[in-house]
Amino acid sequence: MEVTPFKLANKTCLSLSPNFILPEEKRPVLSEVFSLASIPIIDLNDHDIDDDGQGSSSLVSKISQACEEYGFFQIINHGVPKELCQRVLAVVTEFFQLPPEERAQFLTTDHTKQVRVLNYFLKVEGQGKVDMWGESFRHPWHPIEDFTHLLPKNPPQYREVFVEYAREIGVLMDRLLSLISQGLGLEKDCLKRKIGERPTLYSQTNYYPPCPDPELTMGLPAHSDIFALTVLLQLEGVAGLQVIKDGKWVPVDAVPDAFVVNLGDQIQVLSNGRYKSVVHRAVTNKWLPRVSVAMFYAPNNDTEIGPIEDLIEEGHPAMYRNYSYKEFMEEVDRQVGIRRRIPVTGQQWAKVDSSNGRQVSNSQTMVQSPARDKGRGKQRMATETTELQQIGT
């Protein structure tokens, strides 16, 4: 039976036409994905904690090791009801199955809009842009404050389900930030205080329809998250997320009843390079649509970000200069549609090769990652580079 092609909100049908086919050097090369490895899975029911609630519990140690080595980990026994997660995935799927003209009300070219449908693409030299195989929907969330007026009225359950989900994720975010702080040897509330009392919170739901030839397309190209922390819910049984580990792409399995947690650029800076903000991507598959729900936690524009003083010491000087999050985002916006480039050392610029996620300089020499560059004492403004771009047309 012939499958009806998915139609984006901008009324473009997904098809293996030239505007969706990546040039050969940008293709995912799925045969080279290291399928025998994956990111750590951590049980949050591990309660082996010292009497004072801090110290080097096995749970804190596992999370700290995952943050240092991977920048990603999965969590089980996290306390968010399974039934609620299933309802969230169901209502998100319903949203993307609405007629394109109904989703189109959220299309905009104004990146300051809080609620919008996104269609991502790569700018490719000599070819213009190549559209990604999927669609995303972004809106704010908050664990306490009312944000229902910002949510779509259709599907009818969307508002109720997302408000309930936001309350649960708010509790989970607080716990994760506490555990990550303890892993750095800091007070439980340190990272939350440094990120700020009024964090920027928003969700991005993603829909990746089946693709006739996944070797030719990409759901999202290689990038790192510009935020502080991301909690991702994946549709069970449908893989697609991959992360870089030791220069190789590693799949992130869709583990039942689990969340994927990944660190963003801001925690890499706050940790003075000890914890990683790691390059990742989303690939497509032939058989099933993939749905994911990312909940982002970021500073607000007025928050100053820089290495935490307790993590600056002899032999490990500050690797990044302090900056406001507004300044950081303005730099990101200036580089939309191109490889984001930020000064590294001297006059060099760092960029990420989307084919393997590695940082290289303009001269194609390797630039050491912050975690390995402790002796240089060079301060820098940090962000991973990316060729990720969003449009509203």
- Rounded-to-integer distance, Cα 358 and Cα 378, Å: 20
The encoded tokens of residue 39 equal: 């990111």
The encoded tokens of residue 319 equal: 């690797």
- Rounded-to-integer distance, Cα 35 and Cα 46, Å: 27
pLDDT at 18: 92
Does residue 269 sit in helix, strand or coil?
helix
N residues, the chain = 393
Q: What are the residues facing 360 on neighbouring strands?
A: 351, 366
Q: What is the mean pLDDT of residues 32-38?
A: 84
Cα angle, residue 211 at apex, residues 206 and 214 outer, rounded to 5°? 100
Q: pLDDT tens, 304-326?
A: 999 999 999 888 899 999 999 99
pLDDT at 336: 58
355-362 CB contacts, 8 Å cutoff, 24+ apart: 355/25, 355/26, 355/29, 355/222, 356/244, 356/247, 356/249, 357/222, 357/244, 357/247, 357/249, 357/278, 357/279, 357/280, 357/281, 358/244, 358/247, 359/384, 359/385
pLDDT at 5: 87
| Domain ranges, ordered by start, for the chain | 18-304
- The helix or strand, by DSSP H or E, that contains position 66, with its residue range, turns out to be helix 58-69
Record the pTM.
0.86
Q: Is pLDDT at 241 greater than 80 in this prediction?
A: yes
pLDDT at 375: 36
Q: Is pLDDT at 93 greater than 60 in this prediction?
A: yes
| 8 Å CB contact between 92 and 294 | no
CA 250 to chain centre: 15
Pick the CATH number of 18-304 from 3.10.20.30, 2.40.50.100, 1.10.3720.10, 2.60.120.330: 2.60.120.330
The encoded tokens of residue 316 equal: 């490990």
Q: pLDDT tens, 173-202?
A: 999 999 999 999 999 999 999 999 999 999
- The helix or strand, by DSSP H or E, that contains position 248, with its residue range, turns out to be strand 248-251
* Range in 215-229, 247-261, 322-336 with the lowest mean pLDDT: 322-336
pLDDT at 335: 66
Q: Which residues contact 75 (CB under 8 A, 6 or more apart)?
A: 41, 42, 43, 44, 176, 258, 259, 261
Residues 351-388: b if buried by 16+ CB within 10 A, e if exposed: bbbbeebbbbbeeeeebeebbebeeeebbbbbbbbbbb
* Range in 151-155, 168-172, 323-327, 351-355 with the lowest mean pLDDT: 351-355
Q: pLDDT tens, 39-65?
A: 999 999 976 545 444 434 899 999 999
Q: Please indicate whether residue 305 or residue 354 has the higher confidence score (pLDDT).
A: 305
346-349 CB contacts, 8 Å cutoff, 24+ apart: 346/378
| 8 Å CB contact between 210 and 285 | yes
Q: What is the mean pLDDT of residues 100-125?
A: 91
Classify strands 135-140 and 200-208 as parallel, antiparallel or unpaired: antiparallel
**Type of residue found at 262:** N
pLDDT at 350: 37
Burial grade of 153 (CB within 10 A; 0-12, 13-18, 19 or more) = exposed
| 8 Å CB contact between 42 and 135 | no
Q: What are the residues facing 198 on neighbouring strands?
A: none
| 8 Å CB contact between 332 and 340 | yes
The encoded tokens of residue 28 equal: 């995912």
CA 301 to chain centre: 19
Query: Which of 122, 84, 91 lies closest to 207, judged by CA?
Result: 91
Does residue 226 sit in helix, strand or coil?
coil
Q: Is pLDDT at 361 greater than 90 in this prediction?
A: no
Q: Which residues contact 146 (CB under 8 A, 6 or more apart)?
A: none
- Rounded-to-integer distance, Cα 84 and Cα 106, Å: 25
Residue with tokens 């390797």: 366
> First and final CA of the chain: distance in angstroms?
31
| 8 Å CB contact between 154 and 98 | yes
Q: Is pLDDT at 129 greater than 60 in this prediction?
A: yes
